[in-house]
Amino acid sequence: MQNNKYGHHFEVSLPDRQWPDKRISRAPAWCSVDLRDGNQALAVPMNVGEKLRLYEELLRIGFKEIEVGFPAASDTEYEFIRKLIDENRVPEGVSLQVLTQAREHLIKKTFDAIRGAREAIVHLYNSTSALQRKVTFKMTRPEIIEIARKGARMVREYADALEAEGTKVRMEYSPESFSDTELDFALEICEAVKDIWRPTPDNKLIVNLPETVQYRSPNVYADQIEWMSRNIKDRDCVEISVHTHNDRGTGVAATEMALMAGAERVEGTLFGNGERTGNLDIVTVALNMYSEGIDPHLDFTHLPEVRAVYEECTRMKVPPRHPYAGDLVFTAFSGSHQDAIKKGMDMLKDSHGKWEVPYLLIDPTDIGCTYEAIIRINSQSGKGGVAYVLASEFGYDLPKGMHQQVGDFVNAKADKLGKELSPNEINNIFQDEFVKREFPIRLLSYKISPAEPDNENNKEVRISAKALINGEEKVLSEKGNGPINALVNALAAAGLKNFKLLDYRSHAIGKGSATNSAAYICLERASDKANIWGVGVDSNIESAGLKGLICAYNRLNAAS
């Protein structure tokens, strides 16, 4: 690797930088550029219908500024913008943003496209970096500044005419490739535009400082933003906006640091769609704020629906590990993670409304997801994960002492199959091994009666049970202080008792008339002191306990 080919970029001198001690405390103004910057990056650009559907979703989310296109670029762009205005599809308080280069015929068509809008932002740009000046334009600094001045004068002239017709026009200027532009030059060209536009505190100039290509680490970009924010004149007449890309994979970090450095406005796209490695992902930045208790002023309570619209309109796919929106971002396969998550979920009722679940940054239900996929099971999973799935999906509240035994068995099955197990597959494995074991003993029927019918002080009961024992039908009969104790005694009387009863507990599954009982029985095997669990399920709690005892017995003897 020839790393000496790189490193031509200059540094920022800001020894008294303030941004590292700042904190993001409120949401910025958001501008979606999905319909323009995002759209131009698609292999198949959206048609008018697709753009309209995504536009309506952006409104639903709560965007107040939406860059709807480059009207001079194509008839589709122009027609879409006219459709929004002519069909009165722009709610009050929402500004349509349109993009143009500093050429008169492009600016004229841009203003034709927004005629009749209540509020509009005209976004003028030209590239300013030393590399672009050298390679693309072969122009000097003064020549590049003159391009910006000429464009600003034309925008001002057309804006005055449109404002006379009742449209409120704001101007946005971007020194494209700002992050690779000398700061003194970036400031000079922005001041030149500002002098022509004459912004006020009530109608600010949006100075958009894009990280068009990420050349350096995000802290350098933050230095650039702070330097510009501190040095531009009439700061109260300017709104500093940022527009980061993701070439180094740090678009989110660069934006968050830029907000700490004084930026007030953010441009980006849903899920980071954009040229090369993409634009800033607004969803991630907004939900990062939300996770810290800051209202992002964007509504992502229906994030799976947002994703579905995005994927349908753009034909792009959100990766499974994408922050917040991916299929697997709330999912734990690791045993230790699953155990911690289960304990956190169990404690939620005592958390007084605070979200305190290990490994889960936010509550999935806050963004329209369910708890169903929080814990998924493969060969790497642990005892707590299997117990969580059985509890959350099927209502089995396994005793803690049973978790390891069930978890080990299910995980061994997953390892043998070499795949992730669905909840239904987990339950089927659990039923076959821990609930429905019917050999060597199968309980056919039983009757419980008082042990001594004429003695009211005697609390013992007698069981008379028909059972298949190694395929032969026999009757087991004995008394005890309850049905389970009586059946244990009956097994002993038949010479079948090779265990000690250690634990018995039960609970209801379901609600109303569909309620069943689940009974958990733990036996200690006499030969090696191993603990073996079995489960009985029945609508009758007494029957559930007896079935659980027989199941545990069968597992104990099958394993001996």
Task: State the Cα angle at 211 between 210 and 213, rounded to 5°.
Answer: 130
Tell me if residue 66 falls in helix, strand or coil.
strand
Could you give all domains of the chain from N- to C-terminal order, each with its CATH number?
29-314 (3.20.20.70), 335-428 (no CATH), 441-559 (3.30.160.270)
For residue 347, how many other CB atoms are within 10 A of its CB? 11
**pLDDT over 80 at 457, yes or no:** no
Q: What is the H or E stretch that residue 426 is in?
A: helix 423-430
What's residue 349's pLDDT?
76
For residue 158, how many other CB atoms are within 10 A of its CB? 19
Q: Hey, what are 180's tokens? A: 């690779």
What's residue 459's pLDDT?
79
Query: What is the DSSP secondary-structure string of 72-115?
Result: TT-HHHHHHHHHHHHTT-S-TT-EEEEEEES-HHHHHHHHHHHT
Task: State the Cα angle at 380 between 377 and 382, rounded to 5°.
Answer: 70
**pLDDT over 60 at 84, yes or no:** yes
372 vs 474: CA distance, rounded Å: 45
What's residue 559's pLDDT?
53
348 vs 253: CA distance, rounded Å: 31
Cα–Cα nearest to 323, from 272, 255, 392: 272
Q: What is the H or E stretch that residue 175 is in?
A: strand 168-176
Q: What percent of the chain has pLDDT over 70?
A: 98
**Numbers of helices and strands, H then E, in the chain:** 17, 14
Of the two residues 432 and 558, the one the predictor is more confident about is 432
Residue range 412-431: mean pLDDT, rounded: 92
86 vs 83: CA distance, rounded Å: 5
Query: With bands split at pLDDT 50, 70 and 90, how would you rate the model's confidence at 3?
Result: confident
**pLDDT over 90 at 29, yes or no:** yes
37 vs 305: CA distance, rounded Å: 22
Q: Note if the bond before 440 is cis, omega within 30 degrees.
A: yes
247 vs 86: CA distance, rounded Å: 39
**pLDDT over 90 at 137, yes or no:** no
Of the two residues 58 and 458, the one the predictor is more confident about is 58
Q: What percent of the chain has pLDDT over 90?
A: 81
**pLDDT over 70 at 241, yes or no:** yes
188 vs 232: CA distance, rounded Å: 9
**pLDDT over 70 at 8, yes or no:** no
Residue range 72-88: mean pLDDT, rounded: 94
What's residue 338's pLDDT?
83
Q: Which of 24-28, 170-174, 387-391, 451-455 has the lowest mean pLDDT?
A: 451-455
Q: What does pLDDT average to over the chain?
A: 93
Query: What is the DSSP secondary-structure string of 481-549?
Result: SSHHHHHHHHHHHTT---EEEEEEEEEEESSGGG-EEEEEEEEEETTT--EEEEEEEESSHHHHHHHHH
Task: State the Cα angle at 174 between 168 and 176, rounded to 5°.
Answer: 155
What is residue 269's DSSP assignment? B
What's residue 308's pLDDT?
97
178 vs 184: CA distance, rounded Å: 11
With both helix axes pointing from N to C terminus, report the angle between 75-86 and 48-61 in degrees, rounded to the nearest 10: 50
**pLDDT over 90 at 331, yes or no:** no
For residue 507, the Cα-to-chain-centroid distance in whole angstroms is 35
What's residue 456's pLDDT?
66
What's residue 553's pLDDT?
97
Residue range 534-556: mean pLDDT, rounded: 96
**pLDDT over 80 at 512, yes or no:** no
**pLDDT over 60 at 73, yes or no:** yes
What's residue 192's pLDDT?
98
**pLDDT over 70 at 284, yes or no:** yes
Q: Which of 233-237, 256-260, 507-511 has the lowest mean pLDDT?
A: 507-511
Cα–Cα nearest to 119, from 172, 73, 74, 79: 172
Query: With bands split at pLDDT 50, 70 and 90, how would you rate the model's confidence at 455?
Result: low
C-alpha dihedral over 442, 446, 451, 452, to 10 degrees? -150
Task: State the Cα angle at 312 between 308 and 313, rounded to 5°.
Answer: 120
**Residue 162 backbone class (left: φ over 0; alpha: ψ -120 to 50; beta: rest):** alpha
Amino acid at 359: Y
pLDDT tens by residue, 357-380: 999 999 999 999 988 778 777 777
Residue range 245-255: mean pLDDT, rounded: 97
What's residue 249's pLDDT?
96
